[in-house]
Structure 1
């Protein structure tokens, strides 16, 4: 099995190696699908290296966007809210709804069987104690990403429909899933364009020099495909 997987990767890499220069965004989506040869529906990810220093608060790049064609995966949502808002969350399709019992379970059992946490502002004093657990995993509710809100129904619908959150890491990198190998090239292209447009829009005013330093796209088991930065800036307008 390992040899078969290695052979598939080498074959895929040969396809990419034929492209001596970075390719356009549309070409990248086509090559990504061409090199997604695993026997499961691979995730398609974008990796960006940005010219920012996240150690400075004014150079933090963080945001969210609802992808035009979703992410292609089921999203498990935990809502932490007071009793008066829990029924709304349940009716909107949240997978887990509650407050004290879920906070206790996360703290005592390290329970993390969810992809997104949404909380109402009135319970953030209690939710704040989960910062050390949820924060490093990018799961902590935050007003900037829209996951601290009183409009639970709208937010749950957005998350379930393909809203993603992204945040630059300490080295200035962004790693974000933008779809699945079962998507068409056009669908991946439109998702990628929407994501890149938002990242470019969020460029911190204090960021000097080259902002988009590198852009790559890849399937889970495929090699990275370099995307031409100038074409990205043209597309992301």
Structure 2
């Protein structure tokens, strides 16, 4: 018998039909509606008293020499205590200048204000470190003790109490500086706008004393 030839029958793969899925709906996000801010209440205009209004009218808007200004300050004073007389000097510094004008000057008659002055030592530095309190108006220190003050610089700095050579509170002889402060020596410094604010004395003082202190401040 002859050999029968066998044929290979190849199976055809079924054609897969792609089924397209319906596109998903994209939900649009609605913008969040924030509640309307409550309207701010308008501040009521400040009501001034009759004495203040009368004083303002008497002063007016004009320039005065220092003698006239002091006489006017006394005649318009309504305080029931011995008020301070102040001077405000505008140095008109350049806007870009951030360096204030500072220093020390001896007023012939002081300011009439008693300052609480302390001299830094190990005991005081330790006390400030623990309590974070500064029970004084001015702090003096020896130049050689500046390194010790770094541990309390963050406490003193924001209050303007950090001793420095520019302000005259960091010296070789703090005790001598203390004596000078008690005799009328003051430290001064302009604010961020280049204006110096300084007490000249008390309203009850003789005009001559106030004038002499004023003239001294103009010489700085």
Cα distance change on mapping 1:169 and 1:186 into 2, 3 Å: same
Deviation at 1:6, TM superposition (A): 3.2
Q: CA deviation at 1:137?
A: 2.8
Residue from 68, 73, 83 that aligns with 1:32: 73
CA RMSD of aligned residues (A): 2.2
Report Cα offsets for 1:55-114 as digits up to 9, x if no partner. 546x5311111111111021111001xxxxxxxxxxxxxxxxxx2332233344332221
Which TM-score applies when normalising by structure 1? 0.65
Task: Name structure 2 gaps, 5 residues minimum.
Answer: 1-47
| Residue 7 to residue 26, structure 1, CA distance change in 2 (3 Å) | same
Query: Which range moved further: 35-44 or 127-136?
Result: 127-136
The answer (yes or no) to whether the contact 2:164–2:170 under 8 Å persists in 1 is: yes
Which of 66-75 and 102-111 deviates more?
102-111
Structure 1 residues 21 and 157: alpha-carbon distance in aligned structure 2, compared to 1, 3 A threshold: same
Q: Does the Cα contact within 8 Å between 1:33 and 1:185 map onto a contact in 2?
A: no
Question: Secondary structure of the equivalent of 2:123?
Answer: helix
- Bigger share in helix: 1
What residue number does 1:118 align with? 140
- How do 1:1-237 residues align onto structure 2 when only pairs under 5 Å count? 6-17=49-60, 20-53=61-94, 56=97, 59-80=99-120, 99-198=121-220
3-state secondary structure, aligned to 2:162 = coil
For 2:129 and 2:96, the matched residues in 1 are separated by 28
Q: Is contact 2:100–2:192 with CA below 8 Å preserved after alignment?
A: no
Q: How many residues get paired?
A: 173
CA distance in 2, matches of 1:117, 1:196: 26
| Structure-1 separation of matches of 2:49 and 2:124 | 42
Within 1, Cα distance between the matches of 2:165 and 2:64?
A: 36
Whole-angstrom CA distance in 2 between matches of 1:184 and 1:119: 35
Greater gyration radius: 2
